[in-house]
């Protein structure tokens, strides 16, 4: 075990709860992401930490399917992977759960714009106002 790290068992004992998820320590990748100002999934899509974050987003969506935040998070993952259709579908699900989230309307509008549907994009952006 590296200096300064604690075991999973010790962490669980300390906080008194089960650990839901672990992210690998990838200091180098995270420093690059921070310094470049680029999302992790774009900067290092194949890094272990990126894969762990994606898996976490998928697990949260499965465990909390009726939470707008988990759907929006998974939508971002699909967006960065280039799957705008799936991202848009997830944002639409999220906005039905929480119609007060203007960021979801903006994201749906951007997806429509990317699909060369300017009228639909404008309609979604107006709904978000």
DSSP-derived letter for residue 17 is S
Closest CA to 78 of 91, 66, 69, 67: 91
> Do the beta carbons of residue 106 and residue 68 sit within 8 Å?
no
> Do the beta carbons of residue 108 and residue 85 sit within 8 Å?
no
- pLDDT band (50, 70, 90) for residue 112: very high
Where do the domains of the chain lie, and which CATH numbers do they carry? 7-63 (no CATH), 66-129 (1.25.40.10)
pLDDT exceeds cutoff 80 at 2: no
Torsion region of 116: left, alpha or beta (phi above 0 gives left; psi -120 to 50 gives alpha): left
What average pLDDT does range 71-90 have in this prediction? 92
pLDDT exceeds cutoff 70 at 126: yes
What average pLDDT does range 19-41 have in this prediction? 92
Q: Could you tell me how far CA 35 lies from the centroid of its own chain?
A: 20
- Indicate the SS3 state at residue 3: coil
What per-residue confidence (pLDDT) applies to 65?
82
What per-residue confidence (pLDDT) applies to 29?
95
Burial class (CB in 10 A: 0-12, 13-18, 19+), 46: exposed
Q: Give the C-alpha separation, 39 to 57, whole Å.
A: 15
- pLDDT band (50, 70, 90) for residue 50: very high
pLDDT exceeds cutoff 90 at 62: no
């Amino acid at each position: 075990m590296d200096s300064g790290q604690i075991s999973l068992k010790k962490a669980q004992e300390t906080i008194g709860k089960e650990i839901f998820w672990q992210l690998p320590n990838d200091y180098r990748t995270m420093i690059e992401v921070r310094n470049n100002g680029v999302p992790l999934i774009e900067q290092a899509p194949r890094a272990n930490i990126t894969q762990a974050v994606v898996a976490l987003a998928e697990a949260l969506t499965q465990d909390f399917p009726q939470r707008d935040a988990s759907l929006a998070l998974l939508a971002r993952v699909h967006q960065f992977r280039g799957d705008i259709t799936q991202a848009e579908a997830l944002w639409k699900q999220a906005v039905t759960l929480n119609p007060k989230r203007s960021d979801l309307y903006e994201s749906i509008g951007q997806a429509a714009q990317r699909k060369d549907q300017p009228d639909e994009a404008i309609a979604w952006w107006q709904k978000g106002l």
